[in-house]
Amino acid sequence: MIQLIIDLVTPLLVNFGASAADVASYLTSLSTYIYVILGSLLAMIVVMVVAHCAKKGNRHVIRWTAAIAWVLVVLLVVNLICYGPMNSIVSGFLNASKAEMSDDVVGNSKEVIAKVGDEGMVLVKNNGLLPLAAEDNKLNVFGWASVYPVYAGTGSGNAGDAMQPTSMLFTVLKKGAVYALVAASLNLLNGFTGLFSLGQAGFMLLGAYTYAILTIPSADRESVYYLYGGSAVKFSLVDMFQSFLGSAGFGGGLALVLAVLVGLILAGLVAALFAALIGLPVLRLKSDYLAIATLGFAEILRAIFQWQTLGPITNGANMIKGFPTFSDFNIKNGAGQVILRLSTFVPFLVAIICIALIVLLINSSYGRAFKAIRDDEVAAEAMGISLFKHKMLSFVISSFFSGVGGALFAMYVANAQAKVFTSTMTYEILLIVVIGGIGSVSGSVIGTFLYVACSEWWLRFLDRETYIGSFKVPLLRSGFRMVVFSVVIMIIVLFFSKGIMGEKELSWKGIGGLLKKRKKAAPAAEKEG
């Protein structure tokens, strides 16, 4: 099987400049990963075939579950490949252009080095008091960095070296997974129920702080809350599960998983509770008035969480750190080396499960009631639908998943700080929903990854000054990336007034219908030709 893949792939890659020997070597080293992907694909196909024997209403669920499971397996395997045997290759491919200092900067740096050496400026002479080698009997006043020209004055590099390439791919994947969940939750409220809310950042804040406060190990609380003499919350979910299951080996790993899982659920429940409390007065408002009320709630909440009086709980205006993050799920060996990276897989797993629950809700009788309220409240009420009950339900559920998204965001950035959850974050998520399509969960997911990839990765080169010989390319400078990004968004909004997906969803049936249309169109075009 591997040899067949090698024979098929080698001619293609050779055309791009790769050698046949290298292709064969790489694919052979990845044989185990390839067999896992093919085996899981075969299992998915078998499940889908067997699904024909199930009831008609359950076939769709079984097929989607099998597909999602296979996608998760592929994501995990690709993650292992990219962080493992193909790490250097992938990193080099994604970062082919390395950040280097210009020849002028290097030349000037070397000139300074020469002057320093000639003048022999010495801070301390070593008379045996310092543990220096015999040949290093003096310390330069400029420090070691004067011998090696540095990047941006940090003293962290050599003039002859390029900065180590870092891949933005996994950063985009993690942030995209988090934002996709929050965008889907906002779409449930704005797109499917017709409630214009701008309080998503506030519910994310509640989720982030709830998760962070409850999962900080007790031993680290004093150092986190050092300005307040310790935390008012004296227990930790991590410590609680470790006391039952142990802190080492499998017990420690299971304790971490359970602590994070319970923390995420509690983060969502706290956000849902606040949504229920503020929903009683604000859900009687409509349109812009509802948006203003929820936006005000988010801003008030952000100010309260930075209040110094609540410092023993929220740490005031300071960030909360020390809680479990995505990187804590990486599995290490006895020497401390990472052997299995799950830091990208975890946010995807949580986001997929939550979005799947949102989709199931939308396709249920409650989802149909939400859509009826969105389309015509008078007609919905005439049909016997309780407007307030279903609006409250949609508001609470949306806030729950936003709270979970806020906890995931805290795990992504490795801290929780109120000043981050501004109204700008809500506008950013709302923009994603509009780009993807109001009333389409698939659109929200697609729009999220396009938005994050463009803003965080693909357009980064526009912020770097570029020279072609001695000619400086105009406009390319810090901040120009956001100008181009704004233009791209305007074009999308102008030509896709309903978003990328509109109110449509990705489905196997839709993809199959599109392929059939293309097959029918091909013979027709040949006849015309």
Q: How far apart are CA 506 and CA 482, in angstroms?
A: 30
What tokens were used for 360?
């199931």
Which pLDDT does position 1 carry in this prediction?
A: 67
84 by Cβ neighbours in 10 Å (0-12 / 13-18 / 19+) ranks as: middle
Picking from 447, 422, 413, 423, the residue whose alpha carbon sits closest to that of residue 433 is: 447
Domain identity same for 149 and 196: no
C-beta separation of 219 from 313 below 8 A: no
Picking from 411, 26, 396, the residue whose alpha carbon sits closest to that of residue 208 is: 411
Domain identity same for 84 and 114: no
Domain identity same for 366 and 418: yes
Which region, left, alpha or beta, applies to residue 455 given φ > 0 means left and ψ of -120 to 50 means alpha?
A: alpha
Which pLDDT does position 157 carry in this prediction?
A: 40
Which pLDDT does position 239 carry in this prediction?
A: 92
C-beta separation of 185 from 191 below 8 A: no
Alpha carbon of residue 5 to chain centroid: 33
Picking from 313, 338, 292, the residue whose alpha carbon sits closest to that of residue 210 is: 313
C-beta separation of 516 from 452 below 8 A: no
Domain identity same for 84 and 119: no
86 — phi, psi (to 5°)? -105, 15
Q: How far apart are CA 421 and CA 326, in angstroms?
A: 20
C-beta separation of 126 from 138 below 8 A: yes
Asked if residue 481 belongs to a domain, the reply is: no
Asked if residue 332 belongs to a domain, the reply is: yes
Alpha carbon of residue 476 to chain centroid: 27
3-state helix, strand, coil in the chain (%, to 5): 70, 5, 30
Picking from 129, 47, 33, the residue whose alpha carbon sits closest to that of residue 75 is: 33
Asked if residue 388 belongs to a domain, the reply is: yes
The runs of H, that is alpha helices, within 414-507 are 423-436, 441-453, 480-495
Asked if residue 496 belongs to a domain, the reply is: no
Last residue of a domain, one of 40, 65, 94: 94
Domain identity same for 293 and 419: yes
Picking from 323, 120, 347, the residue whose alpha carbon sits closest to that of residue 224 is: 323
- Mean pLDDT, contiguous 10-residue spans, the chain (529 residues): 73 70 77 80 82 71 77 73 63 49 58 58 49 47 41 38 52 92 94 92 96 93 88 90 83 90 96 94 87 92 92 91 90 73 88 94 93 92 92 96 96 93 92 91 92 86 76 78 84 82 76 63 59
Domain identity same for 210 and 317: yes
Which pLDDT does position 83 carry in this prediction?
A: 62
Which pLDDT does position 98 carry in this prediction?
A: 44
Domain identity same for 121 and 250: no
Q: How far apart are CA 439 and CA 409, in angstroms?
A: 24
Q: What is the pTM of this model?
A: 0.72
Domain identity same for 160 and 235: no
Domain identity same for 252 and 268: yes
Asked if residue 476 belongs to a domain, the reply is: no
C-beta separation of 354 from 401 below 8 A: yes
Domain identity same for 258 and 345: yes
Asked if residue 513 belongs to a domain, the reply is: no
**Side chain identity, residue 362:** I
Last residue of a domain, one of 125, 148, 164: 164
Asked if residue 138 belongs to a domain, the reply is: yes
176 by Cβ neighbours in 10 Å (0-12 / 13-18 / 19+) ranks as: buried
Q: How far apart are CA 7 and CA 9, in angstroms?
A: 6
Domain identity same for 122 and 267: no
Domain identity same for 149 and 278: no
Q: How far apart are CA 496 and CA 177, in angstroms?
A: 24
Q: How far apart are CA 369 and CA 385, in angstroms?
A: 7
CA distances from 444 to 119, 391, 409, 438, 455 (A): 63, 21, 17, 8, 16
Q: How far apart are CA 64 and CA 54, in angstroms?
A: 14
Q: What is the DSSP letter of 232?
A: S
Which pLDDT does position 258 carry in this prediction?
A: 94
Asked if residue 516 belongs to a domain, the reply is: no
Which domain covers residue 12, as residue numbers? 2-94
C-beta separation of 260 from 215 below 8 A: yes
Q: How far apart are CA 330 and CA 339, in angstroms?
A: 8
Q: How far apart are CA 499 and CA 183, in angstroms?
A: 14
Last residue of a domain, one of 33, 66, 94: 94
Number of domains observed in the structure of the chain: 3
The runs of H, that is alpha helices, within 120-217 are 169-190, 200-215
